Amino acid sequence: MTAIVPPYLLARIAATDAPHLARAARAARATLEAGHGYDPDLTRLQLSIDEDGALVARATPSPDRVISDAQNRETLPGVQVRTEADPPAGDEATDEAFDGLGATFDFFWDAFGRAGIDAAGGTLAATVHYGVDYDNAFWNGERMVFGDGDGEVFTGFTSSLSVIAHELAHGVTEFSGGLVYERQSGALNESLSDVFGALTEQHSLGQTADEALWLIGAGIFTDAVQGKALRSLAAPGTAYDDDVLGRDPQPGHMRDYVETEADNGGVHINSGIPNRAFHLTAIALGGRAWERAGLIWYRTLTAGTLSPTVDFAGFARATLETATAEYGEGSEEVDAVRAGWSGVGVMEDAPSR
């Protein structure tokens, strides 16, 4: 099971003197420790005019979303409250989750031609109102699950598209062969989810790389927290600096890599390094980040050639190979990928040949 709020952050909250916050964080940590088919009829018509001026209708996949309500219990899946056949439920979390799943589906289809998390148009399932004051959102291998937050540190998690897409992207990684969720392969697993979470939000907003904020979880902190998001791809280590939460511990360069046995060997902390490598690549290429940088990362993940225990250096080499195959040796794209990984100390900055 993967979750958006890392264990080290929950540990800080659990250690506070406020019983309400400590109880909420302990409940979220307990869940983490417990480890808690494409339907051709589900299509939509895309209308266009061909070169002869004729109206052409093409069928494109549509999401099959099912939202359930846990009714503040920690039992899944909960009571079904909205499907594709239903109007808005009138419950904010339900409708935000429904919209977020749809936006994520649209991103993967529009950007990469992928029909859903499993690439076969399978059901996108989610449960809202999980637990009482539950401080997390997670992917359990089958569905998205959203807590409502404690109201003092975290607001509800359904309001952040980057959070929703991050967790669903863990499913994409699983269906693409998986990356072992520990140490550098686990940090890459987390980073890929951050990358696709950020790109989904940018796609939804129509933003270019230069216009985007490159934040994960912007808006899920309450106004009482001194922080803008859970993580920053542009500047790891700067997302928050708060009396209760402490300072964002993510490094953005291999010289600051954190050796730890906690959090599966630092999967959430050290993901800042490949996150920044992607950001550097995307900024260097400019334009819409999913069109070139995102495509390289996506095709690297889904090519079926990655070892489940690949480290940063191995993944960097794989992205270079993908860029070379796609755009050619000596291309702008290859140089940008190499410079991105060089910028975080994973790869030497050798000129292309």
Residues in the chain, total = 353
Instruction: Give every CB contact of residue 175 below 8 A, 6+ residues apart in sequence.
Output: 117, 118, 119
Dihedrals φ, ψ of 136, to 5°?
A: -170, 170
Identity of residue 348: E
Q: Could you tell me which residues are beta bridge partners of residue 138?
A: 3, 145
Distance between CA atoms of residues 107 and 110, nearest Å: 5
Distance between CA atoms of residues 142 and 350, nearest Å: 43
Annotated catalytic residue within 166, 170, 203, 268: 268
Annotated catalytic residue 167: yes
Nearest to 163 by CA among 132, 189, 201, 133: 201
Distance between CA atoms of residues 149 and 152, nearest Å: 8
Annotated catalytic residue within 96, 167, 201, 333: 167
From residue 328, how far is each of 60, 100, 322, 346 by CA, in Å? 31, 36, 9, 22
Q: Please give the structure tokens belonging to residue 236.
A: 């790891």
How many beta carbons lie within 10 A of that of residue 216, not counting itself? 27
Annotated catalytic residue 268: yes
Active site residues: 167, 268
